[in-house]
Amino acid sequence: MSKEELKSNLEEIVISPEYEEGSEWTTVGFESRYWNSIALQLRHTEGLDLNYLFCLTCVDWKTHLTMVYHLTSTTHRHIVVLKSKLDRINPEIESVSGIWRTAEFHEREVYDLFGVKFLHHPDLRRLFMTEEWRGWPLRKDYEDPVNMIKL
Amino acid sequence: MTEEKNILPTQFPGEVHPTAGGGILLTKIDEVINWARSNSLWPLVFGTSCCAIEMMSTAAAKYDWSRFGFEVARATPRQADVIIIAGTIVNKIAPVLKRLYDQMADPKYVIAMGACATSGGPFFYNTYSVVKGADHVIPVDVYVAGCPPRPEALLHALIALQEKIRSGATREQIKMEKP
């Protein structure tokens, strides 16, 4: 479907979307507390059918964190990018591993490296670092005097 | 061996004195053993990162390393002579590397391939997980620079290791020398 149809469909689902320009894919910002209903509608709406979450990641801007979700549809082949700002001190967002199964591992990775808590995740624990590791390595203010040599 | 001189390959350490009914080979046992060892080093398959791809292409048809004797790349350290550390050594794989090195039988040699195994490479600064050089874990004989080193560079390093073995300068041999 074309970009305009996509945008109008998204406007019905995401309340007051903030579009980001300058990207080849339609990028929408949303509020993190509505994520559960938005995700369900994105998956199951006829015509949108975004059934493939191909990237789930987090970006650390120094004042806040941003969760980024890349979704596409295997039938219609359109791509939508969703972004949401999270608070740095207590970042929480609803888990989508019940909707797109691949999110299980990706959310574990984001939890391990950024410390974002995913509510109702079936098995939220560290993925890359060892279980006893303290701290969130990919945050900008991460200090590790033992291993890191600062440039 | 017949009664002609110079029937040995030129690199073979030793000379033949022709006598009636054959010849006598005069050489030092050490040199012959070193020559034999250097010409049949079996590498252990240990590629963690991108350098492994360059190692694979060195082993493949175009830059064949089996011309130099590295014919059989063993998957088990018990049967390997040289371990080529091709790739980044992370904190999680460092104990595995040490265990593999300990399982290799003497005499064993180590080649650190690429920038990551030499010194941490591009991951030297600002990383929480990369060991800054494989020689923090095991002693290394030959370092190869490059990110990744070209197959010719790896072949050069292998030949340098062979020359080191023949001249008795590897860590093994220095350890064995009487003080």
The pLDDT tens digits of the residues spanning B133-161 come to 998 999 999 999 999 899 999 999 999 99
Instruction: Among B92, B125, B132, select the one facing A151 at the smallest CB separation.
Output: B125
Strand order through the sheet with B82-86: B43-44, B82-86, B109-113, B142-144
Q: Which of B127, B128, B131 to mutate to test the interface with A (most CBs of A within 10 A)?
A: B128
Q: Which residues pair with A79 in a beta bridge?
A: A72
Residue environment code for A40-69, b if the CB has 16+ CB neighbours within 10 A, otherwise e: ebbbeeeebbbbbbeebebebeeeebbbeb
Which pLDDT band, with edges at 50, 70 and 90, does B2 fall under? Answer: very low
Q: Which residues of A touch B92 (CB under 8 A)?
A: 130
Q: Would you state the structure tokens that stand for residue A38, as one six-digit string?
A: 């938005």
In one-letter notation, the amino acid at residue A23 is S
pLDDT digits (tens, 9 = 90+) for B11-30: 778 887 888 887 888 888 88
Handedness of CA A110, A114, A119, A123 (dihedral sign): positive
Q: Which letter does DSSP use for residue B149 in this model?
A: P
Q: Would you state the structure tokens that stand for residue B42, as one six-digit string?
A: 């079996």
Collapsed DSSP state (helix, strand, coil) of residue B41:
coil
Question: What ranges do the domains of chain A cover?
Answer: 3-94
d(CA A44, CA B83): 53
- Please name the residues between 87 and 126 in chain B that touch chain A, using a CB distance below 8 Å: 91-92, 124-126
pLDDT at B66 over 70: yes
Q: Which residues of A touch B126 (CB under 8 A)?
A: 148-151
pLDDT at A91 over 80: yes
pLDDT at A46 over 70: yes
pLDDT at A124 over 50: yes
For the whole model, what pTM was predicted?
A: 0.81
Which pLDDT band, with edges at 50, 70 and 90, does A130 fall under? Answer: confident
Q: Which residues of B touch A147 (CB under 8 A)?
A: 91, 127-129
d(CA A28, CA A80): 8
Q: Position of tokens 């062979």? A: B162
Instruction: Among B126, B129, B132, select the one facing A150 at the smallest CB separation.
Output: B126
Q: Which residues pair with B23 in a beta bridge?
A: B18
Which pLDDT band, with edges at 50, 70 and 90, does B128 fall under? Answer: confident
pLDDT at B177 over 70: yes
- Please name the residues between 116 and 145 in chain A that touch chain B, using a CB distance below 8 Å: 129-130, 137, 142, 144
A149 inside 8 A of chain B by CB? yes
Query: B121: left (phi > 0), else alpha (psi -120 to 50), else beta?
Result: left
Average pLDDT, chain A: 87
Q: How far B76 CA lies from chain A's nearest CA (Å)? A: 26
Q: Per mean pLDDT, which range of A71-80, A127-136, B8-17 is the poorest?
A: B8-17
Q: Which letter does DSSP use for residue A142 in this model?
A: -
d(CA A27, CA A19): 6
A148 inside 8 A of chain B by CB? yes
Q: Number of residue pairs across A and B with CB atoms under 8 Å?
A: 22
Across the interface, whether the CB atoms of B126 and A142 are under 8 A apart is answered: no
Which pLDDT band, with edges at 50, 70 and 90, does B86 fall under? Answer: very high
Residue of A nearest to B125 (CA): A149
Q: Which residues, at least 6 apart from A16, have a Cβ–Cβ distance to it below 8 Å?
A: none
CB A17 within 8 A of CB A29: yes
d(CA B71, CA B74): 9
Q: Position of tokens 């997980």? A: B129
Residue of A nearest to B132 (CA): A147
The CATH-assigned architecture of domain B41-161 is 3-Layer(aba) Sandwich (3.40)
Dihedral pair phi/psi, residue B141, rounded to 5°:
-95, -45
Q: Per mean pLDDT, which range of A81-90, B21-30, B126-135 is the poorest?
A: B21-30
CATH number 3.40.50.1370 given to A3-94: no
Across the interface, whether the CB atoms of A149 and B129 are under 8 A apart is answered: no
Handedness of CA A8, A12, A14, A15 (dihedral sign): positive
